[in-house]
Amino acid sequence: MNEVKKYTAQIRDVQFGTGVTVVEPVNLYECEIGSDVFVGPFVEIQKGVKIGDRTRIQSHTFICELVTIGSDCFIAHGVMFTNDLFKDGGPSGNDKSKWSSTEIGNHVSIGSNVTMLPVSVCDHVVIGAGAVVTKNITQPGVYVGNPAKKIR
């Protein structure tokens, strides 16, 4: 019979600000979470991630390594951040030298089921539900679609 490795959801080695709310189960490890942040259930935030003050992260969201999210942001249900662009035609695996970072500014709202490729997003942006963000967003506004485009 094959051995099965079991892992449980956990909160490990997290630097929390004051007034943080976390609804379990979650996987939070080796990350920084600012003050007055809300983290909903079934969220994973990986090592090295930084979350700014007063940001809300709703359920079923995945925030991978190399992501920074500013203050006063809203991350809706089921948002997926990525750090691997499959530059060689497939996953880079643990070769972190091939990964790229994502920087989210302040006052950014990201709708449900958005996919965020490694990009930079300026302050005061709204990204509509279901969008796929493939390029940097350098102007405030509302962005929707696949690939995400500014509509106003």
- Sheet with 115-116, strands from edge to edge, namely 11-12, 27-29, 44-45, 62-63, 80-81, 115-116, 132-133
Token representation of residue 97: 């030298």
On whether the CB atoms of residues 56 and 74 are closer than 8 A, the answer is yes
* Options 60, 77, 107, 124, the catalytic residue: 77
| C-alpha to C-alpha distance for 138 and 12, rounded to whole angstroms | 34
60 part of the active site: no
Task: Supply the residues annotated as catalytic.
Answer: 77
